[in-house]
Amino acid sequence: MRELLEYLAKALVDHPEEVQVQETETDTTVVLELTVAKEDIGKVIGKQGRIARALRTIVKASAVKNGKRAIVEIVD
C-alpha cells in the first residue's frame, strides 16, 4: 500500500523527489502519512478534495484485499 500511494503521488506532483510516505501499522489498520513539497499540496488535494478522495479510495481498496483498513493523511 505504501508503494502504491508513493507511486500515485509521484505521478501527480512537480517535485517527485520530495514525496515521502510514512507507514504506521497495527493489527487491523494501516495509517499512511503523505508528505509532499509545499507547492505540490494543491495538486495532491485537488479541487474540493477530489484527488485526495480518489487516492484514499484506491489505497482503501488495496487494503481490503489484504484484510486491513487504511487511513491516508496528507501532512502539510
| CATH classification at residue 7 | 3.30.300.20
> Pick from 3, 73, 8, 10: which is nearest to 37 by CA?
10
Cβ proximity of 10 and 19 under 8 Å: yes
One digit per residue, the tens of pLDDT, for the chain of length 76 reads: 999 999 999 999 999 999 999 999 988 999 999 999 999 999 999 999 999 999 999 999 999 998 999 999 999 8
- All three cell numbers of 49, joined, read 478534495
- All three cell numbers of 45, joined, read 488535494
pTM: 0.91
Task: Give the type of residue at 52.
Answer: A
The radius of gyration of the chain's CA atoms, rounded to the nearest angstrom, is 12
Question: Ramachandran region of residue 46, left (φ > 0), alpha (ψ -120 to 50) or beta?
Answer: left
Domain extent, residue 71, equals 2-75
Please tell me the total count of domains within the chain.
Answer: 1
